[in-house]
Chains A and B, each alone.
Chain A
Amino acid sequence: MIDRDVFTRLLSRALRYGGDYADIFCERRRSYAFRLQDGHIHDGATSIVQGVGIRVVVGESAGYAYSDDLSTEALMRAAEAASLIARNAPARANGSIDLTTAIVVPLYDQSRKDHAPAARYVDLLERADRSARAYDPRIVAVNAHVSDELQDVWIATSDGRFAHDHRPMITLGVQAVASSRGERGSGYAADGGRTAVEYFDAHSPEELGSDAARIATTNLDAEPAPAGEMEMVVGAGGGGVLLHEAVGHGLESDFNRRGTSLYSGRVGERVASELVTIYDDGNLPEERGSIAIDDEGVPGQHKVLVERGVLRGYMQDTLNARLMGAMPTGSGRRQSYRFLPQPRMCNTYMPSGEGTPEEIIASTKRGLYAKSFAGGQVEISKGDFVFMVAEGYLIENGKVTAPVKNATIVGNGPDAMTKVVAVGNDARLARRHYTCGKGGQHVPVGVGMPTVKISSITVGGTADDE
């Protein structure tokens, strides 16, 4: 999209006052989407996000400017604006920059240059809709969306790296609303990943539709969740949101370099029960959180965050890695060219342990079975988190019993991780639809987990205690 020669001139201009490092992030992203409402295709949308972000780093400071005008003059103005951060920095000689193209190992299909014919997407929506409605006569509304996106990124750095990645992303989501005798229940299911419309040949839209309808009708029949402390069994797959919130964010290097995370300076220390091992992996083929290279041009990696309860390392972008004397881990990500990169998670998951899910549930006297979470949030410095349970049931005397709705879990990261008392042998990744927000930037991520039991957690329901 931009000549190599222009990249080198921009980097030189960006470093004209000095600075330790400069990089350019150039992006073109096309997305193609349809929405379904009331059984009909409601509308379609095409969007193009295109622009260039230029960064200059001096010590722990970053100057940044972006432009969606790709003319060389406009880009030079952006490089100039970014360079101002270094105006008072000690001048340093910057030799000429020689860009070498990095070899990027493909993690997803590189061949598709355009979306599929419209009829393919429309078919997915209509099949999901029919399946949700057929599931139960109490389903009164189905809303579904599909989007297919192709993002090209080109990254050039002052230390000579030049890398390109071509990233597909498809998402199909179905929301079902059930209603009966004045009560309402809602359910959502979605899937996709860094793949294309053919993914849904093997992962049927009918299954997503019926899952959304099943959750909606289950919630319709559900009682309000109990309130207070109890045991919790977290379901395999989507339960991985727990790791993302309770531990993952606290291990991002910006918080740790600044000393604002409760995990700051604690590498090598015990931070969880020894049953707990947590990985973050940018290298899993076609997963939603995977990146062949991150948004700073560093290859995605498999990282050990916690191993048998011991903190092993942080997720690093280039700026924080350099300041901490560490290696970047391919964790520098951004929402678009309009944002500075941040250290972020990719696919965060816990490998299998030894128990069976049945044993874990049977060992629970009174508790909550949180089969999946709708999302969560964490406060970094103390580690308090919340999760919203999307599908939950009571466990009474070792058996899963009545569905409960509107449960919110509140806890503290290290405290909850110390209370992990059982890890199942059924680890799997969740369906691919999670998006993580941090500092106003949203990026796609993946989560995964086996069935896990936590000995005590606070459930924030509304039911009166018995």
Chain B
Amino acid sequence: MTNDDAIEIAARAVDLAIGAGAQNAQATFSVSQRFHVEARDATVSKLERSAGSNVHLRLWKDGRRVAVSSSDLNSQHLRAAIVGALDQLRYVAQDPFAGPPDEFGRFAGDLSLVDPAVSSRDDAERIEDVLALERAIRAADPRIVNSSGSHYSDAVSTIGLASSNDFRGAYTATRASRSTAPLAEESGSKRTAHYGTAGCFMRDLEDPAVVGAVAARRAVEMFGARKPPTMRAPVIFERDVAAAVLDDVFSAVAASNVAVGNSWLAERIGERVGSELVTIIDDGTLPGRLGSAPFDGEGIATRRTPVFESGVLRTFLYDTYYARKLGARTTGNSAGGGIGANNFYLEPGRGSLAELIGSTRRGVLVLDTIGFATEHATGTYSRGARGFMIENGELAYPIDEFTVAGDFAEMLSGVDGVASDLRFDSTTVAPSFRVAEMTISGN
């Protein structure tokens, strides 16, 4: 599928919609070639290869909006779905802010989102990747006797966007990832861990040996874990968990949540919310990164948007609709129906994670969390967690079956250390950071 083919399919969907009576229409056509292999020990347990496509249409008429999404591209079927949606539209309230963007654009620089080395990999190479991961976790420690599976996957995706008011655009991007989930056993008890790596380019991925060794260490180091005491203490969020915290921050700055009362940051633009160390950027123009694209989901040029600068909340992230509704300008964050992150990240600091631990007298290092209890309206955070107790700047003993909880405003203002270990293995990422004080519930 070429970029021109993708534009052509999107444009035909727009024509169908206009022909059926829409005043304005936008269509996003996406197609992906996906490959996935899973192995356990020396056995290839899953081998998946598919081509999937979808068209997503936004239709407007008389200040009302509806959407159609379909994996069935047959034009008669698609037309029937559009007619049905236009009947739905009659029941939608008129909204002065509804409508396609007034002007379009695209980032002019070279984003280099395509790695030919991804699409040219043959099956034997891809399978060897997962077998190498399985060997690596077992070689790392004799207690690694099993795994929930090692994975390699890649995809080549093409996105075509067409708008009835004169936008045509398309781009192609590659992505690849490898991950593993070893299981360690010691005197009848089982411990698992997970570690992975991902990027647009093969060369950005960590080697199977490294991924396997990190995952294996994380599984075995949890043996003998106990509950920490219930206390208020400094908490260090390791990089992967820190990224999950940043996901929650993203939800609070997404204008779609702000507009409906679902953000604790509503009405706080210009305020100092975080500490000096909190600088958070959304940037769709970083070359070769997973969240980069020349234009967003509705054809607006991507850009670099500082969201927090030295703790001060500068802006929310908008698409056209919510920008109009909240009296702002779009930041190029349309996901074609909602608000999405481009590359949303916390600026790294200077020191290493080890230095951050070393400067913590008594606290908790969080390596993994479970649960998803974030109340975005009120800004409260709570997770089940595991990690290490830190005493006198050293990892004293592993801990689990505890919760870490706090208020987002206190968490951001309490950030008193940020490490340098940022990596762009997802669209929302963060380096490890420390919060001065949170509530630990254990014994």
Contact = CB atoms under 8 A, between A and B. Distances in A.
B93 A42 contact: yes
Contacts, number: 251
A267 interface: no
A44 B70 contact: no
Contacts of B382: 388, 406-408, 460-462
Contacts of A408: 371, 373, 382-384, 403, 405
Contacts of A382: 189-192, 400
Given A68-B53, A118-B88, A388-B372, A46 B81 contact: yes
Interface stretch (B61-69, B326-334, B389-397): B61-69
Contacts of B93: 40-42
A177 B192 contact: no
B43 A460 contact: no
Given A384-B384, A458-B441, A410 B403 contact: yes
A17 to B, nearest CB: 12
B90 interface: yes
B260 interface: yes
Interface in B413-443: 439-443
A166 interface: no
Interface hub of A41, A228, A338, A386 (most chain B Cβ within 10 A): A386
Contacts of B73: 68-69
A37 B407 CA distance: 27
B227 A458 contact: yes
Contact of A376 (B71, B91, B371, B407): B371
Interface in B1-59: 40, 43-54
A186 B377 contact: yes
B262 interface: yes
Given A258-B40, A458-B441, A228 B230 contact: yes
A46 B88 contact: yes
Nearest to B66: A44
Interface in B223-271: 227, 230, 232, 259-262, 264
Interface in A342-382: 374-382
B381 to A, nearest CB: 9
A85 B47 CA distance: 7
A356 to B, nearest CB: 31
A454 to B, nearest CB: 14
B436 to A, nearest CB: 15
Nearest to A380: B192
Contacts of B227: 458
B358 interface: no
Contact of A460 (B69, B90, B372, B404): B404
B134 to A, nearest CB: 13
Contacts of B67: 43-46
B307 to A, nearest CB: 21
B293 interface: no
A97 interface: no
A434 interface: no
A37 B403 contact: no
Nearest to A141: B261
A48 to B, nearest CB: 4
Interface stretch (A56-64, A275-283, A306-314, A393-401): A56-64
A111 interface: no
Nearest to B57: A46
A45 B87 CA distance: 11
B90 A179 contact: no
B192 A50 contact: no
A337 B422 CA distance: 36
A66 B50 contact: yes
B402 interface: yes
A103 B160 CA distance: 44
A51 interface: yes
Contact of B148 (A43, A51, A260, A461): A260
5 contacts: A46-B85, A384-B386, A386-B384, A406-B382, A461-B382
Given A460-B405, A461-B441, 7 more contacts: A43-B64, A45-B67, A48-B71, A85-B44, A186-B376, A375-B371, A387-B371
Those 4 A-B pairs whose CB atoms lie nearest each other, nearest first: A460-B403, A141-B261, A386-B384, A40-B93
